[in-house]
Amino acid sequence: MADDIKKMYAKAKKAFEQIEYWSQEKVDEMVAAVGWEWQKPETAKALARLAVDESGIGVYEDKVAKIQSKTRGTMRDLIGQKTCGLVREDKEKGLRIFAKPMGVIANVVPCTNPESTVCCIGLSILKTRNAMIVSPHPRTQGSSYLTVEHGRKALAKIGAPVDLLQCIKETSREKTKELMAGCDFAVATGGAALVRVVYEAGKPCHTVGAGNVISIVDETADIKAAAAKIVKSKTANNSASCSSENAVAIEASVYDDMLQALKAEGGYLYNTNEREKLRKYMWPDGKTLNRDIVAKPALYIAEHAGINVPENTRFLMVLGTKPGPEDRFSGEKVSLVLTVWKWTDFSEMIERMKEMQRFSGEGHSSSIHTEIDDRKIELALKANVG
């Protein structure tokens, strides 16, 4: 293990040992202090500004909102949760369940969300009396480092060990591997290559890879409302999130109306020739996504693909042709490009969706806009997500 990683781990372990037997009350005070610091408007604005400036991707205002809402939401979810000592007892069976911490947890964060990923996972790590060492993305290491520094400031204010939160200052793939090998547990958010690195380290871990959210719209949906919701999710932070819609699958009888509703929300549908230009720009070698398009404005993508679109265009649309690797538009795009599919048979559409997500985003998420409960249940039972 590299000397600097060894030193960080040693400090984290020492800090962990100081809180290993803290009471629930004391732990909750710590979590509240750190969460409060991260969600403060001035903190969120500073972190969002640096993240956008470093990465060149995303939308400043959306990042501010995301940092605050995700941090507050995590704090809300953690309130009242027992994570210390005896957490459950079954007197009839004579069974007692105790919660115990793991130790030092590595948190590998992506450049698309270098601040909110630290906040959300960091609060959960502290709530369970563990220490966290962040391995930032090289492109946004300043953003992740500053996020951790704000957390350390909050810890110092309440007299908690500041080394419960640390961040690698000058990151590298080698340091990330060293951290993975030396930590007690790992959490990683990123692409397939990163997930492989984490698994190869041989430590227990939780990983989040590619998304590829497909939103199904049927004939019972409120078309205008569905379009507004899908576009709100699609355009938030220029679609940097893995949970933003990558495709919409529309029932045939409402297909034209839904397309018009999406266009009314700022969508531009490419014709066949334009689609081919965009494909070549997005996947220059036919397989690897051009990272230059990630979370960039729609006008930027269109211009660099050599396509003229109206100035009020908020996102781009293409028609899907075939699920799987033969049509790269059927996978995750992490950009303001939405693939449109038409269906007549609901069960067959679910099978197509499963094929798309086997290619990209299996195990992530999907959504549906319908008033038919049986369809909600069928999707929940059959979709390879969750």
pLDDT for res 202? 84
d(CA 386, CA 377): 14
- Average pLDDT value over all residues in the chain: 96
Instruction: Indicate if the pLDDT at residue 208 is higher than 70.
Output: yes
242 part of the active site:
yes
pLDDT for res 2? 66
Q: How confident is the model at residue 363 (pLDDT cuts 50, 70, 90)?
A: confident
Match 């019972």 to its residue by tokens: 220
Domains and CATH numbers, the chain: 3-208 (3.40.605.10), 213-382 (3.40.309.10)
pLDDT for res 207? 83
Pairing of strands 205-208, 185-189: parallel
What burial class does residue 301 get, using C-beta atoms within 10 Å of its C-beta: 0-12 exposed, 13-18 middle, 19+ buried?
A: buried
pTM: 0.90
Residue 227: both structure tokens together: 């379009």
The residue among 227, 256, 229, 248 whose CA lies nearest residue 333 is 248
Q: Which residues, in sequence order, are CB contacts of 320 under 8 Å at separation 6+?
A: 247, 327, 329, 330, 339, 340, 341
- Give 314-349 as a DSSP string: -EEEEE--SSSTTSGGGS---SSEEEEEEES-HHHH
**Per this entry, what is the length of the chain?**
386
- Give 167-201 as a DSSP string: E-SS--HHHHHHHHHHSSEEEEES-HHHHHHHHHT
Question: Average pLDDT of 263-276?
Answer: 98
pLDDT by residue (tens digit) across 54-101?
Answer: 999 999 999 999 999 999 999 999 999 999 999 999 999 999 999 999
Q: Torsion-angle region of residue 264: left (phi > 0), alpha (psi -120 to 50) or beta?
A: alpha
pLDDT by residue (tens digit) across 280-339?
Answer: 999 999 999 999 999 999 999 999 999 999 999 999 999 999 999 999 999 999 999 999
pLDDT for res 80? 95
What burial class does residue 170 get, using C-beta atoms within 10 Å of its C-beta: 0-12 exposed, 13-18 middle, 19+ buried?
A: exposed
- 88 sits in which H/E element: strand 85-90
pLDDT for res 1? 58
Question: Average pLDDT of 273-277?
Answer: 98
- Please state, as a whole number, how many other Cβ atoms lie within 10 Å of the Cβ of residue 37: 18
Three-class secondary structure of residue 131 per DSSP: strand
Q: Which residues, in sequence order, are CB contacts of 190 under 8 Å at separation 6+?
A: 108, 110, 137, 208, 209
pLDDT for res 195? 76
pLDDT for res 319? 98
Catalytic position from the list 84, 111, 120, 242: 242
What letters, b where the CB count within 10 A reaches 16 and e where it falls short, cover 324-342?
Answer: eeebbbbbbbbbbbbbbbe
Question: Average pLDDT of 227-236?
Answer: 97
Q: Which residues, in sequence order, are CB contacts of 356 under 8 Å at separation 6+?
A: 212, 214, 247, 323, 324, 330, 331
Task: Taking the CA atoms of 258, 261, 267 and 272 in sequence, report the sign of the dihedral they define.
Answer: positive
